[in-house]
Amino acid sequence: MAKEHILVVDDEEDILELVRYNLIKEGYRVTTVASGEEALRSARAAQPDIVLLDLMLPGVDGLEVCRQLKRETKTQHVPIIMLSAKGEEADIVTGLEMGAADYITKPFSPRVLIARLRAVLRRRTAETVPESAPLTIHEIIIHPGRHEVLVQDQPVDLTVTEFRLLHMLARRPGWVFTRSQIVSGVHGDDYPVSDRSVDVQVVGLRKKLGPCGEYIETVRGVGYRFKE
Protein backbone atom coordinates (compact mmCIF):
# COMPACT_ATOMS: atom_id res chain seq x y z
CA MET A 1 0.00 0.00 0.00
CA ALA A 2 1.21 3.50 -0.82
CA LYS A 3 2.12 5.70 2.11
CA GLU A 4 2.88 9.00 0.37
CA HIS A 5 1.34 12.13 1.86
CA ILE A 6 -0.84 14.10 -0.58
CA LEU A 7 -1.95 17.69 0.02
CA VAL A 8 -5.18 18.50 -1.85
CA VAL A 9 -6.13 22.16 -2.30
CA ASP A 10 -9.58 23.09 -3.65
CA ASP A 11 -12.34 25.43 -2.49
CA GLU A 12 -15.10 23.10 -3.76
CA GLU A 13 -16.09 20.79 -0.91
CA ASP A 14 -17.50 18.06 -3.16
CA ILE A 15 -14.24 17.85 -5.14
CA LEU A 16 -12.19 17.74 -1.94
CA GLU A 17 -14.29 14.86 -0.63
CA LEU A 18 -14.20 12.97 -3.94
CA VAL A 19 -10.43 13.25 -4.22
CA ARG A 20 -9.84 12.50 -0.52
CA TYR A 21 -12.00 9.37 -0.65
CA ASN A 22 -10.27 7.95 -3.74
CA LEU A 23 -6.75 8.73 -2.53
CA ILE A 24 -7.37 7.15 0.88
CA LYS A 25 -8.83 4.10 -0.85
CA GLU A 26 -5.50 3.76 -2.70
CA GLY A 27 -3.57 3.91 0.57
CA TYR A 28 -2.32 7.48 0.47
CA ARG A 29 -2.25 9.80 3.49
CA VAL A 30 -4.32 12.88 2.64
CA THR A 31 -4.60 16.43 3.93
CA THR A 32 -7.28 18.70 2.44
CA VAL A 33 -7.45 22.50 2.61
CA ALA A 34 -9.74 25.00 0.90
CA SER A 35 -7.60 28.13 0.40
CA GLY A 36 -4.20 29.22 -0.82
CA GLU A 37 -3.21 30.54 2.60
CA GLU A 38 -3.98 27.16 4.19
CA ALA A 39 -2.10 25.39 1.41
CA LEU A 40 1.06 27.39 2.07
CA ARG A 41 0.88 26.84 5.81
CA SER A 42 0.26 23.10 5.42
CA ALA A 43 2.96 22.55 2.79
CA ARG A 44 5.56 24.43 4.82
CA ALA A 45 4.72 22.53 7.99
CA ALA A 46 4.29 19.00 6.63
CA GLN A 47 6.25 19.03 3.32
CA PRO A 48 3.91 16.59 1.51
CA ASP A 49 5.12 14.20 -1.19
CA ILE A 50 2.90 15.88 -3.79
CA VAL A 51 0.35 18.72 -3.99
CA LEU A 52 -2.90 18.66 -6.00
CA LEU A 53 -3.56 22.35 -6.47
CA ASP A 54 -6.66 24.09 -7.85
CA LEU A 55 -5.87 27.27 -9.77
CA MET A 56 -9.04 29.19 -8.92
CA LEU A 57 -8.81 29.76 -5.17
CA PRO A 58 -10.14 32.60 -3.01
CA GLY A 59 -7.49 34.99 -1.72
CA VAL A 60 -4.09 33.62 -2.73
CA ASP A 61 -4.73 31.82 -6.02
CA GLY A 62 -3.13 28.58 -7.21
CA LEU A 63 -0.50 30.26 -9.39
CA GLU A 64 0.75 32.31 -6.45
CA VAL A 65 0.79 29.22 -4.23
CA CYS A 66 2.88 27.42 -6.86
CA ARG A 67 5.20 30.41 -7.22
CA GLN A 68 5.85 30.60 -3.48
CA LEU A 69 6.32 26.86 -2.95
CA LYS A 70 8.80 26.63 -5.83
CA ARG A 71 10.71 29.65 -4.52
CA GLU A 72 11.26 28.27 -1.02
CA THR A 73 14.04 25.77 -0.30
CA LYS A 74 11.91 23.58 2.00
CA THR A 75 9.16 23.03 -0.58
CA GLN A 76 10.70 23.59 -4.03
CA HIS A 77 11.25 19.84 -4.53
CA VAL A 78 7.57 18.96 -3.90
CA PRO A 79 5.80 18.06 -7.18
CA ILE A 80 2.63 20.03 -7.95
CA ILE A 81 -0.23 18.84 -10.15
CA MET A 82 -2.53 21.69 -11.09
CA LEU A 83 -6.29 21.28 -11.35
CA SER A 84 -7.93 23.63 -13.81
CA ALA A 85 -11.22 24.27 -15.53
CA LYS A 86 -11.08 23.89 -19.33
CA GLY A 87 -10.05 26.94 -21.32
CA GLU A 88 -7.42 28.29 -18.89
CA GLU A 89 -4.50 27.46 -21.15
CA ALA A 90 -2.59 30.64 -20.31
CA ASP A 91 -2.69 29.85 -16.59
CA ILE A 92 -1.67 26.23 -17.24
CA VAL A 93 1.33 27.33 -19.31
CA THR A 94 2.33 29.81 -16.63
CA GLY A 95 2.04 27.16 -13.94
CA LEU A 96 4.12 24.64 -15.88
CA GLU A 97 6.80 27.26 -16.47
CA MET A 98 6.84 27.95 -12.73
CA GLY A 99 7.69 24.29 -12.16
CA ALA A 100 4.38 22.42 -11.86
CA ALA A 101 4.77 18.76 -12.86
CA ASP A 102 1.44 18.29 -14.63
CA TYR A 103 -2.11 19.56 -14.90
CA ILE A 104 -5.53 17.93 -14.95
CA THR A 105 -8.59 19.63 -16.39
CA LYS A 106 -11.96 19.60 -14.64
CA PRO A 107 -14.11 17.61 -14.63
CA PHE A 108 -11.78 14.64 -14.23
CA SER A 109 -12.25 10.97 -13.43
CA PRO A 110 -10.73 9.62 -10.17
CA ARG A 111 -8.99 6.86 -12.15
CA VAL A 112 -7.25 9.39 -14.39
CA LEU A 113 -6.28 11.46 -11.36
CA ILE A 114 -4.71 8.45 -9.62
CA ALA A 115 -2.86 7.41 -12.78
CA ARG A 116 -1.42 10.88 -13.35
CA LEU A 117 -0.46 11.21 -9.69
CA ARG A 118 1.37 7.87 -9.76
CA ALA A 119 3.16 8.92 -12.94
CA VAL A 120 4.45 12.11 -11.31
CA LEU A 121 5.65 10.16 -8.26
CA ARG A 122 7.45 7.70 -10.55
CA ARG A 123 9.12 10.54 -12.42
CA ARG A 124 10.30 12.06 -9.16
CA THR A 125 12.05 8.78 -8.34
CA ALA A 126 13.48 8.46 -11.86
CA GLU A 127 15.08 11.90 -11.67
CA THR A 128 17.73 10.48 -9.34
CA VAL A 129 19.23 8.75 -12.42
CA PRO A 130 22.27 10.73 -13.73
CA GLU A 131 21.56 12.74 -16.86
CA SER A 132 24.53 11.09 -18.57
CA ALA A 133 23.19 7.55 -18.04
CA PRO A 134 21.97 5.57 -21.09
CA LEU A 135 18.19 5.63 -21.41
CA THR A 136 15.91 2.98 -22.89
CA ILE A 137 12.24 3.77 -23.47
CA HIS A 138 9.82 1.97 -25.76
CA GLU A 139 11.94 0.96 -28.80
CA ILE A 140 14.38 3.85 -28.38
CA ILE A 141 17.86 3.71 -26.80
CA ILE A 142 19.60 7.02 -26.04
CA HIS A 143 23.34 7.20 -25.19
CA PRO A 144 24.07 10.79 -24.05
CA GLY A 145 27.82 10.21 -23.70
CA ARG A 146 28.11 8.88 -27.24
CA HIS A 147 25.45 11.21 -28.62
CA GLU A 148 23.87 8.14 -30.15
CA VAL A 149 20.24 7.12 -30.69
CA LEU A 150 19.02 3.70 -31.74
CA VAL A 151 15.44 3.21 -32.88
CA GLN A 152 14.40 -0.44 -33.12
CA ASP A 153 18.14 -1.27 -32.98
CA GLN A 154 18.92 0.97 -35.97
CA PRO A 155 21.07 4.14 -35.58
CA VAL A 156 19.33 7.43 -36.26
CA ASP A 157 21.28 10.54 -37.30
CA LEU A 158 20.06 13.50 -35.23
CA THR A 159 21.29 17.07 -35.06
CA VAL A 160 22.50 18.40 -31.70
CA THR A 161 19.21 20.22 -31.22
CA GLU A 162 17.11 17.16 -32.10
CA PHE A 163 19.16 14.96 -29.76
CA ARG A 164 18.78 17.37 -26.84
CA LEU A 165 15.06 17.73 -27.51
CA LEU A 166 14.51 13.96 -27.59
CA HIS A 167 16.59 13.38 -24.45
CA MET A 168 14.78 16.15 -22.57
CA LEU A 169 11.35 14.71 -23.34
CA ALA A 170 12.28 11.03 -22.95
CA ARG A 171 13.88 11.48 -19.52
CA ARG A 172 10.51 12.50 -18.10
CA PRO A 173 7.83 10.53 -19.95
CA GLY A 174 4.37 11.98 -19.36
CA TRP A 175 5.80 15.32 -18.23
CA VAL A 176 4.39 18.26 -20.18
CA PHE A 177 6.98 20.78 -21.38
CA THR A 178 5.95 24.19 -22.67
CA ARG A 179 7.65 25.51 -25.78
CA SER A 180 9.62 28.09 -23.81
CA GLN A 181 10.81 25.38 -21.39
CA ILE A 182 12.00 23.36 -24.39
CA VAL A 183 13.89 26.36 -25.79
CA SER A 184 15.58 26.95 -22.41
CA GLY A 185 16.33 23.27 -21.89
CA VAL A 186 17.75 22.70 -25.37
CA HIS A 187 19.46 26.02 -26.09
CA GLY A 188 19.78 27.78 -22.72
CA ASP A 189 18.04 30.84 -21.30
CA ASP A 190 17.44 33.90 -23.50
CA TYR A 191 18.16 32.01 -26.74
CA PRO A 192 16.44 33.86 -29.62
CA VAL A 193 14.22 31.03 -30.88
CA SER A 194 10.48 31.36 -31.48
CA ASP A 195 7.80 28.93 -30.36
CA ARG A 196 7.17 28.15 -34.02
CA SER A 197 10.74 26.92 -34.42
CA VAL A 198 10.12 24.36 -31.65
CA ASP A 199 7.16 23.02 -33.62
CA VAL A 200 9.36 22.71 -36.73
CA GLN A 201 12.05 20.86 -34.74
CA VAL A 202 9.48 18.45 -33.33
CA VAL A 203 8.14 17.71 -36.83
CA GLY A 204 11.65 16.96 -38.06
CA LEU A 205 12.44 14.77 -35.05
CA ARG A 206 9.23 12.78 -35.43
CA LYS A 207 10.04 12.14 -39.07
CA LYS A 208 13.52 10.81 -38.24
CA LEU A 209 12.15 8.55 -35.49
CA GLY A 210 9.77 6.90 -37.96
CA PRO A 211 6.98 4.89 -36.26
CA CYS A 212 8.42 5.86 -32.86
CA GLY A 213 7.77 9.52 -33.66
CA GLU A 214 4.22 9.03 -32.39
CA TYR A 215 5.60 8.82 -28.84
CA ILE A 216 6.11 12.59 -28.93
CA GLU A 217 2.63 13.90 -28.18
CA THR A 218 1.30 17.41 -28.75
CA VAL A 219 -0.52 18.93 -25.77
CA ARG A 220 -2.76 21.47 -27.43
CA GLY A 221 -2.19 25.02 -26.30
CA VAL A 222 0.66 24.01 -23.98
CA GLY A 223 3.57 22.11 -25.55
CA TYR A 224 4.81 18.54 -25.85
CA ARG A 225 5.35 15.39 -23.84
CA PHE A 226 6.84 11.93 -24.39
CA LYS A 227 4.27 9.14 -24.16
CA GLU A 228 4.61 6.91 -21.09
In the chain, % of residues over pLDDT 70: 91
Once rounded to an integer, what is the mean pLDDT over residues 189-204?
75
> How much is the CA Rg of the chain, to the nearest whole Å?
18
pLDDT in tens, 31-56: 999 999 999 999 999 889 999 999 98
pLDDT in tens, 63-119: 999 999 988 888 888 999 999 876 567 877 888 888 888 888 888 899 999 998 988
pLDDT at 19 > cutoff 80: yes
Contacts of 59 (CB under 8 A, 6+ apart): 35, 36, 37
pLDDT in tens, 93-108: 888 888 888 888 888 8
Q: Which residues pair with 15 in a beta bridge?
A: none
Which domains occur in the chain, in start order? 5-126 (3.40.50.2300), 135-226 (1.10.10.10)
pLDDT at 29: 92
Residue 68 in 3-state DSSP? helix
